[in-house]
């Protein structure tokens, strides 16, 4: 893409999208150019649809297709300033599967089976504070405020900062971890390379081994710790708006998904059938 690639790269930076999103958009557009072997300036809606159909035939899933549509919409809508092409690209329907939620005993078992000390501490922090794995990996030493019992989460999703609770049990675990690892740089969870933080991929690998050792049949990723945090807070009676703030969700609708997957809340609900003919059922008329 040459000059156009640099222009799109600059536009993405000015838009201040997450680094991973920028990389994904650029990757999709490179694939588009390589498929047609022409500059996007010479291509239009028909060629974009042909490429998306090509991806579909190759077995691309709905999430991959959606990301590619987003990248091409940005290319044509922003960088090439051809909004009509961008507008006519349809979003693929992505099925919303209910996440597998870990029980408290499963979380405890998994955390005990993680062999890597640093990766294990990232997962404990993810569950203890509801952090995304990237947010946990990027924590700095000064982000742990033991006086106010808060964790400062910097540049979360959407480039927003927030504060979350620092649980006493997590603080104790972090102090034990600090005494053993003694991180020398700014990062609380250092990577192997000097001056870098631990990568989410390393955490994923360590967790995958723990899941295998635990013989769990559920689909578990580092994000499952955040899911478990939110669901367990709901199940212990915490207000959904507090959970929204802790998770850093812009919309309450995003947080409400956890109410849908909480088996405890579903089981706790009473059917109106049980109320018929009782004193409590008088409100039904």
132 noted as active-site residue: yes
CATH of residue 134: 1.10.443.10
208 noted as active-site residue: no
241 noted as active-site residue: no
Do residues 242 and 250 touch, judged by C-beta distance below 8 A? no
Active-site residue, from 132, 138, 227, 232 = 132
pLDDT in tens, the chain (285 residues): 678 999 999 999 888 887 788 999 999 999 999 999 999 999 999 999 999 999 988 888 888 899 999 999 999 999 999 999 999 998 888 776 666 788 889 999 999 999 999 999 999 999 999 999 999 999 999 999 999 999 999 866 666 788 888 999 999 999 999 999 988 889 999 998 888 999 999 999 999 999 999 999 888 999 999 988 888 888 887 888 888 888 888 777 777 776 665 555 556 666 665 666 788 767 665
Does 120 reside within a domain?
yes
Question: Among residues 37, 36, 39, 41, which one has the least CA distance to residue 54?
Answer: 36
Do residues 220 and 214 touch, judged by C-beta distance below 8 A? no
Active-site residue, from 197, 226, 227, 232 = 226
> DSSP assignment, residue 187?
B
Q: What's the domain range around 39?
A: 3-87
CATH of residue 23: 1.10.150.130
Strand (E) or helix (H) holding 57: helix 45-57
Strand (E) or helix (H) holding 165: strand 162-165
Identify any residues that bridge with 140 across adjacent strands, giving them in sequence order.
Answer: 187
Do residues 110 and 214 touch, judged by C-beta distance below 8 A? yes
Look up the pTM and report it: 0.69
Which residue, 87, 117, 139, sits at the end of a domain?
87
73 noted as active-site residue: no
- Give the list of residues 6+ apart from residue 208 with CB closer than 8 angstroms, or none: none
54 noted as active-site residue: no
Alpha carbons 62 and 75: distance in angstroms, whole number: 20
Q: How far apart are the first and last CA of the chain?
A: 69
Q: Give every strand in the sheet of 144-145, ordered side by side.
A: 144-145, 150-153, 162-165
Tell me: do 250 and 163 sit in the same domain. yes
Active-site residue, from 25, 127, 177, 258 = 258
Burial (CB count within 10 angstroms: exposed 0-12, middle 13-18, buried 19+), residue 168: exposed
Side-chain-facing half-sphere of 68: CA atoms under 13 Å: 22
Do residues 191 and 197 touch, judged by C-beta distance below 8 A? yes
pLDDT for position 269: 60
Which residue, 87, 121, 150, sits at the end of a domain?
87
Does 96 reside within a domain?
no
Tell me: do 121 and 220 sit in the same domain. yes
Side-chain-facing half-sphere of 280: CA atoms under 13 Å: 6
pLDDT for position 27: 93
Active-site residue, from 157, 162, 209, 257 = 157
Phi/psi of residue 151, nearest 5 degrees: -115, 130
Question: Among residues 235, 242, 228, which one has the least CA distance to residue 266?
Answer: 235
Tell me: do 123 and 58 sit in the same domain. no
Structure tokens, 220: 């578990």
Tell me: do 121 and 157 sit in the same domain. yes
Q: How does 230-260 read in b/e, with b if 16+ C-beta sit within 10 Å?
A: bbbbbbeeeeeeebbebbbbeeeeebebbee
Tell me: do 43 and 142 sit in the same domain. no
Tell me: do 83 and 119 sit in the same domain. no
Does 188 reside within a domain?
yes
Residue 33's Cα: distance from chain center in Å? 29
pLDDT for position 284: 62
Active-site residue, from 49, 140, 152, 223 = 223
Does 223 reside within a domain?
yes
């Amino acid at each position: 893409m040459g000059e156009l690639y640099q222009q799109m790269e600059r536009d993405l930076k000015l838009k201040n999208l997450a680094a991973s999103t920028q990389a994904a958009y650029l990757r999709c557009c490179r694939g588009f150019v390589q498929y047609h072997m022409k500059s996007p300036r010479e291509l239009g809606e028909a060629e974009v649809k042909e490429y998306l159909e090509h991806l579909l035939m190759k077995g691309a899933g709905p999430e991959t297709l959606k990301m590619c549509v987003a990248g091409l919409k940005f290319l044509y809508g922003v960088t090439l300033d051809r909004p009509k092409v961008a507008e006519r690209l349809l979003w693929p329907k992505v099925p919303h599967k209910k996440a597998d939620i870990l029980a408290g005993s499963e979380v405890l078992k998994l955390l005990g089976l993680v062999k890597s000390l640093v990766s294990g501490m990232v997962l404990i922090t993810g569950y203890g504070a509801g952090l995304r794995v990237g947010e946990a990996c990027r924590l700095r030493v000064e982000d742990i405020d033991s006086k106010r019992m808060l964790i400062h989460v910097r540049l979360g999703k959407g480039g927003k900062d927030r504060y979350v609770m620092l649980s006493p049990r997590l603080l104790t675990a972090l102090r034990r971890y600090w005494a053993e690892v003694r991180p020398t740089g700014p990062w609380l969870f250092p990577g192997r390379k000097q001056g870098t933080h631990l990568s989410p991929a390393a955490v994923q690998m360590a967790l995958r081994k723990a899941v295998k050792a635990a013989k769990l049949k559920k689909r578990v990723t580092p994000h499952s710790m955040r899911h478990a945090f939110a669901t367990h807070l709901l199940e212990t009676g915490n207000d959904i708006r507090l959970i929204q703030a802790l998770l850093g969700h812009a919309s309450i609708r995003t947080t409400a998904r956890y109410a849908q997957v909480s088996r405890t809340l579903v089981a706790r609900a009473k059917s109106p059938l049980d109320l018929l003919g009782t004193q409590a059922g008088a409100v039904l008329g």
